[in-house]
Amino acid sequence: MTPQQASARALEICQLAPIVPVLVVHDASIAQDLARALIAGGLPALEVTLRTDAALDVIAQMAKVEGGVVGAGTLLTPADVRAAKAAGARFGVSPGATDILLDACEAEGLPLLPGAATASEAMRLLERGYSVQKFFPAEASGGAAALKAIGAPIPQVRFCPTGGVSPSNAADYLGLSNTICAGGSWVCPQNLIDAKDWGAIEALAREASKLRV
């Protein structure tokens, strides 16, 4: 998969909904129920972060749910890429980007949303062919104002800002011409996951699905 093909597929996935839930799930047995709730609420693109021992099993379970597109977040190494692809991930997300990681994703045919936080990082990825990127950590890197500023001289790149995005600032990001969608964890808070309150999670997802400006 070429970087251009990866970005084209990443763009399609990012355009599915205004918010991509960023999921930290510790129990694979609830993965399908959680995925169904988010998809029913209008958020079909799901990022499962590789931050728990259960993450790969969670991806495998969510990949079985109809209507969803499950990806793996926090990809750091080629081993992460191979494991995520084998588990059923259909896209990957990384906090930053290294040549080794990009090479692995291209070799495995896994569309990647590579992370960038500065103009130089965005330019380097664009030079390689990645025109769709993750702006991370969004709030710590200056928020919507910083992303707007980066977009002025580099309009070719479109972003999915993640990191500190919330209901109170999501519209600021989504209103930018260089933002496609945003990643957020507020649609699936741990207390609701622990309570298995799928109705409440579906309601949060439905509210988030209406955020597009």
Measured in whole angstroms, how far is the alpha carbon of residue 178 from the centre of its chain?
16
Could you confirm whether 85 is annotated as catalytic? no
Checking if the pLDDT of 212 tops 80, the result is no
Checking if the pLDDT of 127 tops 60, the result is yes
Tell me the pLDDT tens digit for each residue of 145-180: 999 999 999 999 999 999 999 999 999 999 999 999
Q: What is the fold of 3-209?
A: TIM Barrel (3.20.20)
**Marked catalytic residue, from 12, 47, 148, 202:** 47
Tell me the pLDDT tens digit for each residue of 58-112: 999 999 999 999 999 999 999 999 999 999 999 999 999 999 999 999 999 999 9
Please give the structure tokens belonging to residue 43.
């958020």
In this predicted structure, what is the pLDDT of residue 213?
Answer: 56
Q: 35: closest CA among 73, 63, 74?
A: 63
**Marked catalytic residue, from 85, 106, 134, 202:** 134
Name the residue ranges covered by the structural domains of the chain. Answer: 3-209
Could you confirm whether 134 is annotated as catalytic? yes
Within the chain, residue ranges assigned H as helices are 3-14, 31-40, 55-62, 78-87, 99-108, 119-128, 143-151, 170-174, 190-195, 198-209
In this predicted structure, what is the pLDDT of residue 186?
Answer: 96
Tell me the pLDDT tens digit for each residue of 20-69: 999 999 999 999 999 999 999 999 999 999 999 999 999 999 999 999 99
Half-sphere exposure of 36 (CA within 13 A, CB side): 12
pTM, two decimal places: 0.96
Neighbours of 143 (CB within 10 A): 18
What string of DSSP letters covers 43-71? Answer: --EEEEES-STTHHHHHHHHTTSTT-EEE
Neighbours of 93 (CB within 10 A): 28
